[in-house]
Amino acid sequence: MANGKPLNAPAHTTGFAAWIDRRFPIASFWKTHITGYYAPKNFNFWYFFGSLALLVLAIQIVTGIFLAMNYKPDAAQAFSSVERIMRDVPWGWLLRYLHSTGASMFFVVVYLHIFRGFLYGSYRAPRELVWIFGCMIFLCLMAEAFFGYLLPWGQMSYWGAQVITNLFSAIPGIGPDLALWIRGDYVVSDATLNRFFALHVIAIPLLLLALVGIHLIALRTVGSNNPDGIEIKAQTDENGIPLDGIPFHPYYTVHDLWGVAVFLLVFCAIVFFAPEMGGYFLEANNFIPADPMKTPTEIAPVWYFTAFYSMLRATTDTFKIVLMAALGAISAFGMLRARRLKHKLAIALGAALALAAMAVTQAKFWGVVVMGGAVLILFFLPWLDRSPVKSIRYRPSFHKALIMLFALNFMMLAALGTHAPSPLLNALAQTGTVLYFAFFLAMPFWSRRGRFKPVPMRLTSSH
């Protein structure tokens, strides 16, 4: 204590503020992580989506709390409770549409946030953990959306949950017991609804909030990336402040408010004028009560899962042979690249065991593996990319073309997943699945090829 002021309080705090800060360092936290955090000065449009994801998360939590107050997690009353929310609860229709639209918009901003990482190499060192925590958030978000999808207890909710939970039964050995444990019954029933409600409202949100906090802590530790892919901490003044950095507040808090305003205009336009979005956000079949005795003509997941659903559906017995051939080719290439005999033998043994397992297991199981692998492969992106530069700005033109082809291919798979299967669409989905995995598996080779532009020492102002 010096002159009646706590020693650990910021210089500008006095009196009651200093007393609070000594016991709970709000001012110190604000200075360290907001006003004292220096971000690159050349953030552009792509850097809105991180803050927008936080905004949508807040919308989902607040609306979810009020919806849970009126929802009945009971198979006999769930659908009617949703109808009551829509018709009888004051402003219930608005809460429901805010929550359902928020679910889709959450995936919109997260997909764009992930794509930003692809463009500017935000997964590269020293941000590997930031990327990995982000991928874990994406997995939690998918789980949260899946568990919440059942809650309206409509036809598509019921049968979609039935199809997805049945996929786990394809896992050899433990599959049937695992599917039974997830459902809590032999079919989707009241027990399933109760456990999905608990997971959707309590367990997954807590995990999601923890991961978001860890993600932000990791980001603050290593600093934000930028469109040039330059580490601003490498160039500092005599006070250790990055020469190309500006305080996050007020510059980027005000900057992000512009993005928030535009986003909320679009968000509210959807909520008030097109909450169903032509059946993509809210399917027509979900306005029909769940009927275990009547299966819908076509069962498909909501749009943000359709790309992965296309990969699952594309994995037929014929396509399994293609996968086996691809595995054999990759293993042979790995053996040629391996220098030591023990590594060659390990690759050969692993490939032989994998091929034997593929030969005796159902295509349905490998569809689940392909679908899960499409998400899990994102975790390895920091080590698959061998480019000497981070940002797409300084990469060869064919790198840009490959990334755009990947994005278009993903959108094609998402579009295919919304249509009923046919021989042509199935062939397109199989081609898209091969291209999706080829992009990542060939990345260690194509990412270091070509003529790279020199990366400047300081940030550029071009967007």
Instruction: Output the tens digit of pLDDT for each of the chain's 463 residues.
Output: 445 444 445 555 677 878 888 888 887 777 777 788 899 999 999 999 999 999 999 999 999 999 999 999 999 999 999 999 999 999 999 999 999 999 999 999 999 999 999 999 999 999 999 999 999 999 999 999 999 999 999 999 999 888 888 888 888 888 889 999 999 988 899 999 999 999 999 999 999 999 999 999 999 899 999 999 999 988 888 888 999 999 998 999 999 999 999 999 999 999 999 999 998 999 989 999 999 888 888 888 899 999 999 999 999 988 998 889 988 888 888 888 888 888 889 989 988 998 898 888 888 889 999 999 999 999 999 999 999 999 999 999 999 999 999 999 999 999 999 988 899 999 999 999 999 999 999 999 999 999 999 999 888 765 4
For residues 169 and 305, membership in a common domain is answered with no
- Tokens 């402040």 correspond to 241
Based on the domain organization, do 79 and 225 belong to the same domain? yes
- Does residue 360 share a domain with residue 274? no
Predicted pLDDT at 463: 46
Burial 434-456 (b: 16+ CB within 10 A, else e): bbbbebbeebeebbeeeeeeeee
- Whether 101 and 217 map to the same domain: the answer is yes
Structural domain includes residue 1: no
Burial class (CB in 10 A: 0-12, 13-18, 19+), 265: exposed
- To which residue do tokens 């889709």 refer? 104
64, burial (CB in 10 Å: exposed 0-12, middle 13-18, buried 19+):
buried
Boundary residue ending a domain (229, 260, 286)? 286
**345 and 270 in one domain?**
no
390 close to 124: Cβ distance less than 8 angstroms: yes
Same domain as 308, residue 277: no
Residues 6+ apart with CB under 8 A from 417: 300, 301, 305, 306, 307, 308, 309, 310, 313, 429
Q: What is the residue range of 191's domain?
A: 43-286
Mark which of 260, 286, 312 sits at the end of a domain: 286
Give yes or no: residues 326 and 274 share one domain: no
In total, how many domains does the chain have?
2
- Is 343 marked within a binding site? no
Whether residues 169 and 272 share a domain: the answer is: yes
Does residue 273 fall inside a structural domain?
A: yes
Domain identity same for 157 and 86: yes
Per the document, the length of the chain is 463
Q: Write down the pLDDT at residue 4.
A: 47
Check residue 40 and report its DSSP letter.
Answer: E
Taking Cα atoms as reference points, which of 172, 156, 166 lies closest to residue 187? 166
> Could you tell me the pTM of the whole model?
0.92
99 is in an annotated binding site: yes
Residue 399 among known ligand-binding residues = no
Whether residue 197 is contained in a domain is answered as yes
Is residue 202 in some structural domain? yes
- Asked whether residue 203 falls in the same domain as residue 352, the answer is no
Contact 199, 145 (CB under 8 A): no
pLDDT for the residue numbered 29: 78
Show which of 236, 251, 286 is a domain's final residue: 286
In a domain, 214, yes or no: yes
CATH number at residue 395: 1.20.810.10
* Number of Cα atoms under 13 Å in the Cβ half of residue 40: 24
Residue 338 shares a structural domain with residue 416: yes
Q: Cα separation of 194 and 188, whole Å?
A: 11
Q: Tell whether 5 is covered by a domain.
A: no
378 domain-assigned: yes
Note whether residue 388 is domain-resident: yes
